[in-house]
A = this chain, B = another copy of it.
Amino acid sequence: MTTRKTAPAATAARTGRSALRDEARRRDDRDPLSAHAARFATGGVVHLNGNSLGPPRESLVHALDRVVSGQWAPRQVRGWFRDGWLELPRTVGDKLAALLGAGPGQVVVAGETTSTTLFNALVAACRLRDDRPVLLAEAESFPTDLYIADSVARLLGRRLVVEPRGGFDAFLAEHGRQVAAAIAAPVDFRTGERREIGPTTALCHAAGAVSVWDLSHAAGVLPTELDAHGVDLAIGCGYKYLGGGPGAPAFLYVRSGLQPEVDFPLSGWHGHARPFDMAPRFVPAGGVDRARTGTPPLLSIVALDHALEPLVQTGIRALHRRSRSLGEFFLTCLGEGRPDLLRRLASPRDPDRRGGHLALRVPDADGLERALADSGVLVDARPPDLVRFAFAPLYVTYEQVWRAVNEVHRALP
């Protein structure tokens, strides 16, 4: 009975779905960016977890070999001077700057983890406002940001105020004169919901507070326009959409106008004005180099550099446009014959209000992640009930999105 009654609807859905597969193929044929996917070592798997860790480029091992066998082995320590290793934190930083909407000389990849880089930024930010008691953070922050903000507040004798999304801007507006620095993220790591960098930065500045941004979930997929918005300091990880690989080093942006006065606690010798003088006293480098710390981990920075190449060539506007289009196509496919699934969307429906990923609310997030993984589709669960789907622009194709949704339909009957 049931079968007979739903048969026409099921047929219609099947027809609709196969039409969408044709549409996916047409889109891939039309968009030259779809050709990039074949240059990543995806192993035939669909990667919708670029918000966490994407696949390596096929050429990465060759790039590492070039440095190990072509530079390090023959030239050893002279590689620091002859092969540009010493400048790599800056040259990679400048490539990142292009993706972040920043002019050159403002971004550095010192070689630390993201948490530690945020620590360095937050101490420096608070020091710029020594007379203000509050460090302000968002309740929705990735937890490590809260751990680090708490640590910085304790060290400097400030008060950490953690406000939920709405309360954050309200606190700035009402008590902004108490705020030394405010740390926020332009993309909610759970739902993908955007916080506009411009208005919040303007609120910070109106209150005389230092604005710090964690761009981990935005870099490489969303235009952030740091210079245009007058952002003071920003950090972000090198994995996720930037593709630098497991635990890739973080980056740190320091607005050029701030560079002469900013005072970082991680004052390692690579941040010294003349590191090779081996002077007993620290004199910070003049520009963004003062954000450097110790001797940077070359291999991990080389991998990040290699990952940035196609992203920088493509440009952040085209990357964003494609990610957004892939996300919209996902929702189109998701709703085809299954309007119930669209009601599971935990992210804003308006693509202007989302970053590179979206989330569905499901009864068993881990179960869905596992079921999809078994079908060759990698997504990322946030237990108990969120599953995130990320649309990295260069290794995800429309046809893969179609295929992924097909598996979601199967897994959530």
Q: Which residues of B contact A143 (CB under 8 A)?
A: 269, 272, 278-280
User: How near does chain B come to A107, taking the closest CB pair, in angstroms?
Assistant: 18
User: Taking the complex as formed, is A42 at the interface, i.e. its CB lies under 8 A from any CB of chain B?
Assistant: yes
Query: Does A134 have its Cβ within 8 Å of any Cβ on chain B?
Result: no
Q: Which chain B residue lies CB-closest to A73? A: B41
Contact A266 B297 (CB under 8 A): no
The complex places the Cα of A43 from the Cα of B71 at a distance, in Å, of 11
With contact pairs A61-B65, A151-B266 given, residues A294 and B115 touching in the complex (Cβ less than 8 Å) = yes
The answer, yes or no, to whether A303 is at the interface (CB within 8 Å) is: yes
Q: Is A254 in contact with chain B by the CB < 8 A criterion?
A: no
Cα distance A266–B250 in the bound complex, in angstroms:
15
A155 within 8 A of B: yes
Interface residues on chain A, number (Cβ under 8 Å): 81
Q: Does A310 contact B (CB under 8 A)?
A: no
Against B, the Cβ 8 Å flags (1 = close, 0 = not) of A294-311 are: 111111110100000000
Whether A56 contacts B77 in the complex (CB less than 8 A), given A113-B297, A116-B268, A246-B299, comes out as no
Q: Hey, which bits of chain A sit against chain B, CB under 8 A?
A: 41-43, 45, 47, 49, 52-56, 60-61, 64-65, 68-69, 72-74, 76-80, 85, 110-117, 119, 123, 139, 143-144, 146-148, 150-151, 155-156, 162, 237, 239, 245-250, 265-270, 272, 278-282, 293-301, 303, 373, 378, 380, 382
